[in-house]
Structure 1
Amino acid sequence: MAVLRDWGLTLGKWAGRPIARVQRDSGDPDVERVRKAAAAADWPTVRDVLEARPESEDRTELVRAVGDTAGVERWISGIIEAEPDAPLPRLVGGFRYISWGWEARTRAMASQVSRAQFELFHSRLRTAEQWLYESAEREPLWTSPWLGLQMTGRGLQVGPAVARRRFEAAVRRDPYHLGAHQQHVQQVCDKWGGSHEEMHAFARESALRAPGGTLLGQLVATAHIEHWIDHDPGSRGAYMRSAATTASLREAADHSYRHPDFVRSGGWLEVVNTFAMAFSLASDHVGARECFEASEGRVTASPWHYLDDDPAAAYREQRRSARR
């Protein structure tokens, strides 16, 4: 199954209803601007776009967009050498080598990845780690390097203690950083050496400990989707439709996007898409319709790629079911 990391939206109309499509960004024009500059090796423009944004969530999508752009690896090392004291080139280089590393590994099952692929994967991640640590040393208050180090740490299998320290370093700088929490949910889930119990406990505690209206409610929905995936096909439906799962989703929704202090900014669209899928799988059609209406046909690839290689097709199918 293809894994589509970038997400975004476009909105068409058919018979008065939104036609959902997945694009490569969230609709922020600076994402496409910085991606084009990166593809053209235009470092001054990349730097200007990134420096114009505050650290943390406001810049995370932009940095990851540069990191996901093919060819950045051909010129970023030269910028790093030319600017030995600058943290930003190292941050960009780190995120590019993370993405480039996963390109070498591919998204195949570990048993299907060759030794040569793993060696290249690990080599690129180790380079990313070096640059990210150097970026963190030069800008001790930045969150982004620690987000990247969470990602490299999982690929390099640094172990739960180190992974936890990296997560804690990120949230010391930004306590409610969605990306850092998303990474740690993956770190503690069963498929990465954690457990379902640890994953659910972390997700619920993080979501409910945060002030009402933050994006962190998504963690609860993500945890249930991850647990659903791990069930045998015959028992998946029963798990998601259980009273405990439904109550957990509603509790998290009430504390997140349903809360009066919720603001549609940052990763809000991914939040309502995640709840839309979780409520759909739970057969909570009222909750699902609420999220589909909030998204207005705007689709984020995650988590719909778990249902279909075409996330928009999965979104449309579940939206039709919710309207019945």
Structure 2
Amino acid sequence: MVGTMALLPPFIRASRTSRTARNAAAPHSAAGLPADDEVLLDVPDDRLGPALVAAGLGAYAPAAQLMARTRERAEWEYRDRYATRLAAFAHSRSEWFEEWCAAAPRDPDVLLVAAQLAVDRAWRSPARAELLREVSPLITAAAQSDVRDPVPWRIALDHARGTRAGHKYFGELWSAAVRRAPHHYGCHVAAKRYLAESWHGSHRECFDFADRAAQDAPAGSLVQALPTRAAFAYLTDGCGPEVPRERLDAAADRAIALSARFPSVDPWPAEIRNVLTYVLVRLDRHDDALAQLRLIGPYATSFPWGRLSDDPLGHFLAVREEVRSGPSERPPWRPGIGHGERAHSTDH
């Protein structure tokens, strides 16, 4: 059993002594929050979880079935998230994925995860740009394997950012992506990241892009959270002209409305709620932040906290404790000033 546990996917429980946990449980319970030792990092949903556990045991069939269903049902948001998580697991434990590749080398789902995995591996290398150019054929193969699927185009947008592709080429990729799925969240996040890097410090332009996308998207689309991603980038960047407070509040309000459309204590919207919580805390909207923390429940996510600390779970718990305890004696909010943490340079 010990060997099996070592293979399980990387969702992490908070590490606390039992005495600390007992002491922390009562005040958190009174605030409607789970105790620290009940909080988990990057918990998969009920569909992805069994596929990751099976992959940890060396079996690829559940992952193959899951990805096939997302493609057959055109569940592009789920497909994007699942491909990313499966590729991340294959990066650290590849045997199951190698068997899947050998069994179905031309399968669209295999090609998609392979493209994501290749980009992830290249991104971690000091020779990133050179290695990314070498994986272009894998992305092309994934895109050609199912012409309806926008997810290979999201990978292509990330790839273009890593290779510092020009605006014209990026625009061609963007057009191809939105033809397939006009409101695909992953593609919009990839585009915002590209714009943020090529327009470093020009946060108003990134807000313009995010606001237009959100205004055009349905009320229940994840794209409604894109302005909050722009707000997070601005609040952790510390450069460029000031963005009006009203615009930051409007982005948060839009994400609050989106969050309310999802069930509470649900891993699917957890990342959106985690990002929103950070923004609300930075804006000194502690009551709203506490409401989001109650909706988050035990589901912390690596993003955004991994951008701010090498211990994302510990950082989430520290921010949560600050919100639970009430406003502290701090200087009033000012734009572009960090929350006492360092922002990592990558947003991949």
TM-score, scaled relative to structure 2 = 0.73
In the alignment, which of 117, 120, 126 is matched to residue 99 of structure 1?
Answer: 120
Paired position in structure 1 for 2:346: none
SS at match of 2:140: helix
Counterparts of 2:304 and 2:280, CA distance in 1: 12
Aligned ranges 1:182-221 → 2 under 5 Å? 182-190=189-197, 195-221=202-228
Give the secondary structure class of the aligned counterpart of 1:213.
Answer: coil
Q: 2:111 aligns with which of 87, 90, 93?
A: 90
Structure 1 CA distance for aligned equivalents of residues 193 and 306 of structure 2: 16
Code of the residue aligned with 2:43 in structure 1: it is D
Q: Does 1:59 align with 2:61?
A: no
Which of the numbers 178, 203, 219 marks the counterpart of 1:171?
A: 178
Whether 1:31 aligns to 2:18 is no
Decide whether aligned partners of structure 1 residues 76 and 309 sit closer, same or farther in structure 2, where only a CA change above 3 A counts.
closer
Residues 256/266 of structure 1: CA separation in 2 closer, same or farther (3 Å cut): same
Q: How many residues align?
A: 296
Deviation at 1:97, TM superposition (A): 0.5
Matching residue's letter, 1:159: G
Task: Answer whether contact 2:43 2:299 (CA < 8 A) is retained.
Answer: no
Counterpart secondary structure, 1:256: helix
Aligned partner of 1:247 among 227, 231, 249? 249
Partner of 1:282: 283
Which structure 2 residues correspond to residues 65-76 of structure 1 after superposition, within 5 A? Answer: 65-68=85-88, 69-70=90-91
1:47 and 2:68 equivalent?
no
Distance 1:272 1:75 in 2: 32
Give the deviation of 1:314 after TM superposition: 2.4
Secondary structure at 1:283 match in 2: coil
Percent identical residues: 21
CA offset digits 1:107-162 (Å, max 9, x no partner): xxxxxxxxxx31xx345423432122112112100121111111111111122222
Partner of 1:109: none
Distance in 1, matches of 2:178 and 2:35, equals 37
> Is it true that 1:291 corresponds to 2:292 in the alignment?
yes
> Structure 1 residue 252: deviation in Å?
1.9
Question: Could you tell me which amino acid in structure 2 is paired with residue 223 of structure 1?
Answer: A
Structure 2 partner of 1:317: 318
Indicate the structure whose relative CO is greater, using CA pairs within 8 Å and at least 6 residues apart.
Answer: 1
Structure 1 residues 45, 315: CA separation in 2 closer, same or farther (over 3 Å shift)?
closer
1:254-273 pair list within 5 angstroms: 255-258=257-260, 262-264=261-263, 267-273=268-274
Select between 70-79 and 160-169 the one with higher mean Cα deviation. Answer: 70-79
Deviation at 1:100, TM superposition (A): 1.2
Q: Is the 8 A contact 2:252 2:276 kept in 1?
A: no
C-alpha distance in structure 1 between counterparts of 2:60 and 2:314, whole Å = 37
Q: Secondary structure at the match of 2:291?
A: helix
Cα 1:72–1:320, aligned 2, differ >3 Å: closer, same or farther? closer
1:273·1:299 contact (CA, 8 Å) conserved in 2? Answer: yes
1:34-84 deviation line (CA, Å, top 9, x unaligned): 335555664444322321334411222221122112367678678667756
Which of 84-93 and 73-82 deviates more? 73-82
5+ long unaligned stretches in structure 1: 1-5, 106-116
3-state DSSP of counterpart to 2:35:
strand
Deviation, 1:245, is: 4.0
RMSD: 3.3
Question: Which structure 2 residue ranges, 5 or more long, are not aligned?
Answer: 1-8, 15-20, 327-348
The structure 1 residue matched to 2:34, chosen from 4, 9, 18, is: 18
CA contact (8 A) 1:207 1:217 kept: yes
- Does the CA-based 8 Å contact 1:200-1:220 persist in structure 2? yes
Partner of 1:136: 143
The 2-side partners of 1:204 and 1:302 are apart by 21
